[in-house]
Amino acid sequence: MGTRKEFISALIDLTGKSKVLTSARRMHYYCTGIKVGGGAACAVVLPNTLLQLWQVLKICVEHEKIIIVQAANTGLTGGSTPYGDGYDRDVVVINTLNIDRLILINQGHQVVAFAGATLFRLEDKLQPLKRGPHSVIGSSCIGASVVGGVCNNSGGNLVNRGPAYTELSLHAQLGADGELRLINHLGIPLGDTPEDILTNLEQVNFDPDTVPASEAQASDTEYQSRVREVDADTPARFNADRRRLHEASGCAGKLAVFAVRLDTFAEPAREQVFYIGTNDPTELSKLRRRILTGFSGLPEMGEYMHRSYFDAADKYCKDTYLFIRFFGSAFLTRLFALKSRIDGYLSRLPLLSENFSDRVLQVMADLWPDHLPRRMREYRNLYEHHLMIKANDDIIDETRNCLQSLFGGSSSGDFFECTDKESMAAQLHRFVAGGASTRYAIVHHKEIEGLMPLDIALPRNENDWHELLPDDVLEQLVGPFRLSHFLCMVFHWDFVVKKGVDIDALKARILKLLDARGAKYPAEHNVGHLYRAESDLRNFYQSLDPTNSFNAGVGKTSKLRNYT
């Protein structure tokens, strides 16, 4: 097994000293979740190649470490980092963001994404081919990685593409016999030994345009049919769905995933965003039913935002909105890393508060002129419930006719067709909203008890989605920030809890209410360390990782060797 000093020395000999972090200050960014979670590690390793990643894993296994493989560290439930105490072995975090290659295969109809590739880069790479990935930007966590989405069955906001899913992956698995094995299920012949497989993939020693077709799925091809079943009393998608647990897909870090092979999707020739506001949420339920049962195809997206989240994103995500607008989405990855380093240095100074950079950005954003279009601002003042529908090609006319029919005589709601500028603003306002509760908590940390993020999949036949929680529950919240992938009935509730409230007791009560309604949770952010894994998911984890050496404790399972 060797000593910790020998372990660190072996890592440095392999990757170089600059790629092995051991000080608490330098490891803080990688060991702390963006919303919840965090814990100690004996090292953070930053490999540069697939082969280095394999060799790092072998050293970790030889020294009997718990291994957490992360990419962008944008997980919202604490599943990308250590979490508290109780581990019986040292924890090592391996960050793969340096391994960010994307290989387009078969004329761009599919892609092989390496462990650290982000949705940002994939969108950019596919744009010249007029194709897109399963999701855009990262609907709740800007900067998300492609492999991270697959490992967590991330749902995404594009209705007609479904959640991230593939049966084609290249991954390492530690068996019950203690042997680390590299398993090539990419459907691409790359050799026999791990060294040959990884080198041939990294150097693209194959013809990308003649990769053999595979009978294995590289996307959730059944989702369009499943989401249309509006009378079903089960959710359209959720993380513990056995139909979508397969090797890398849904593994939650219980495998070390080197690469995944995924379908890409043709972009529409025409798009039109419709912005809807209403004070009668039943109108939105009627609209959802008409779209899913009557339209010839599905819209690209249907994103709901309650006025509370509109306001929160307006005030607390304005700086992120402006950064993306002026510098592009890819800039945020560098910005987040820079913020973390600055806060790490400044936190050692007694006169400066924690999260100093967030506070400065908040003040600067408040000084900037209004960033939202006039009509969006008017709808915020008029309506409590907001819905953005992005229609494409032939669905545009169907959507327009449906909205005119539904809201033509309505006294409680209305809609407008967005200009290009309004379309950009509406989508960007929605995309940045996921960070609102975190910034709110930073700014008002002395006035609140904490955050309670909930990621809920409601049954497809649920029409009372807007009144699931009683008033006495809502009264315990500073801001019941609510948004959803509405056509999918997937809701993100980022609750800020009032000072003095018992968060655990409140959450238990809310989940009990949801259980009675047939809801499933989490819907798409995976269990992390906030949710207890259902039996199907727990059994899946143990089958992938029988020694409990990868991401131990995820899903509130044991952190101990062999799950004892």
Predicted confidence (pLDDT) per residue in 112-160, tens digit: 999 999 988 899 999 999 999 988 754 445 678 999 999 998 887 789 8
Q: What value does the mean pLDDT of the chain take?
A: 93
Q: Among residues of the chain, what percentage have pLDDT more than 90?
A: 79
Examine the pLDDT at 431 and tell me if it is beyond 60: yes
**Quick one: which of 10, 530, 46 has its CA closest to 252?**
530
Would you say 268 and 370 are in contact if contact means Cβ atoms under 8 Å apart?
no
Q: Is the separation of the CB atoms in 159 and 488 below 8 Å? A: yes
The Cα–Cα gap between 508 and 506 comes to 5
Residue 135 has a pLDDT of 82
- Residue 522, preceding bond cis, omega within 30 degrees? yes
pLDDT per position as a tens digit, 319-357: 999 988 998 776 766 776 676 666 666 666 665 667 778
Residue 62 has pLDDT above 50, yes or no: yes
Integer Cα distance of 414 and 146 in angstroms: 37
Of 72-81, 273-282, 493-502, which range is least confident? 72-81
Structure confidence at residue 1 (pLDDT) = 75
DSSP letter at 100 equals: -
* Least confident span in 78-82, 102-106, 322-326: 322-326
Q: Which two tokens stand for residue 161?
A: 């593409």
**C-alpha–C-alpha distance, residues 191 and 340, integer Å:** 41
Given pLDDT bands bounded at 50, 70 and 90, which one contains residue 75? Answer: confident
Residue-wise pLDDT for 433-492, tens only, equals 988 998 998 889 889 999 898 999 999 999 999 988 999 999 999 877 899 999 999 999
pLDDT attached to residue 350: 62
| Confidence band, pLDDT 50/70/90 cuts, at residue 506 | very high
Please say whether the beta carbons of 532 and 38 come within 8 A.
no
The rounded percent of the chain whose pLDDT value lies above 70 is 95
Is 517 a residue whose pLDDT tops 90? Answer: yes
pLDDT at site 136: 73
Please list the alpha-helical segments (H only) found in 19-74.
Answer: 24-31, 50-62
What CA dihedral angle connects 108, 112, 114 and 117, to 10 degrees? Answer: 30
Digit-coded pLDDT (tens) for 211-260: 999 999 999 999 999 999 999 999 999 999 999 999 999 999 999 999 99
Q: What does the pLDDT read at residue 545?
A: 98
Handedness of CA 460, 461, 464, 468 (dihedral sign): negative
Averaged pLDDT for residues 288-300: 96
> Can you tell me the distance from the alpha carbon of 534 to that of 413, in angstroms, rounded to the nearest whole number?
40
Q: Are 45 and 56 in contact (CB under 8 A)?
A: yes
Checking if the pLDDT of 278 tops 50, the result is yes
Average confidence (pLDDT) over 43-50? 98
Q: Is 138 left (phi over 0), alpha (psi -120 to 50) or beta?
A: left
Residue 139, pLDDT score = 45
- 380-391 pLDDT, tens digit each: 999 999 999 999
pLDDT for position 535: 95
